[in-house]
Amino acid sequence: MSNVNVYKQRPDAAQAESPLFHASLHELVGKGSRNAGVNLREKKLLGHLTLRGDASDPTFASGVHSALGMELPVALTLTSSGDTSLQWMSPDEWLLIVPSGEEFAVEQKLREALAGQHISIVNVSGGQTLLELSGSKVREVLMKSTSYDVHPSNFPVGKAVATHFAKAQLVIRHTGEHTWELVIRRSFSDYFWLWLQDASAEFGLNISQ
């Protein structure tokens, strides 16, 4: 175990608020258009951990596997197991997303499995959030928002890229045929929320929980 100061960033007793708390999304559930082409759901307050290490080092890869039961994904891909996902962010960096409240235990497990190695684990849960978009018109909304090619021939299910979106930056993850996720920075959450409402208006937007 390293001597890094690891602590529970979100105590059980504290009232947590997502970056879109002010938007009161729960009050909008069911009030959107019928037959909406776009469904939006904030997967809020999940545990986001940034993991860094040497992918070519077998002891790193096997350590991650023993702690998570998942293989390190290769460039521009995402692997998931239940509600946990591991995404390639750069050649030596991955984003691990775990169910809300599990991040502290998972971080300790990873640190134990990777003890003595040249690695870094940072809990970034407070800095970003996840939006899930589903529906037949989601791809149309993405096409209006980013120059990245989101056609299935270039962007199959399981691919994930960091790119420009609405003149800002985020991560787009293709998680199901008509399901996509956006990893957005906390400080941009209101901007993207406004952008997505506007971009989805012509297709009908529904908020789900």
Q: Which residues bind another protein (CB under 8 A)?
A: 75-76, 89-91, 147-148, 161-164, 169
Residues sharing a CB contact under 8 Å with residue 166, sequence separation 6 or more, in sequence order:
145, 146, 191, 192, 195, 199
Q: Residue 195 CB, nearest distance to another protein (Å)?
A: 17
CB nearer to another protein: pick between 128 and 200: 128
Q: Residue 164 CB, nearest distance to another protein (Å)?
A: 5
The three-class DSSP label of residue 134 is strand
Q: CB of 131 within 8 A of CB of 196?
A: yes
CB nearer to another protein: pick between 75 and 201: 75
Q: Residue 159 CB, nearest distance to another protein (Å)?
A: 10
Residues sharing a CB contact under 8 Å with residue 164, sequence separation 6 or more, in sequence order:
146, 147, 148
CB nearer to another protein: pick between 24 and 147: 147
Give 15: exposed, middle or buried? Use CB within 10 Å, 0-12, 13-18, 19+. Answer: exposed
Q: What is the residue whose two structure tokens read 């293989």?
A: 71
Q: What is the residue whose two structure tokens read 């399981």?
A: 158
Q: Residue 34 CB, nearest distance to another protein (Å)?
A: 37
CB nearer to another protein: pick between 51 and 207: 51
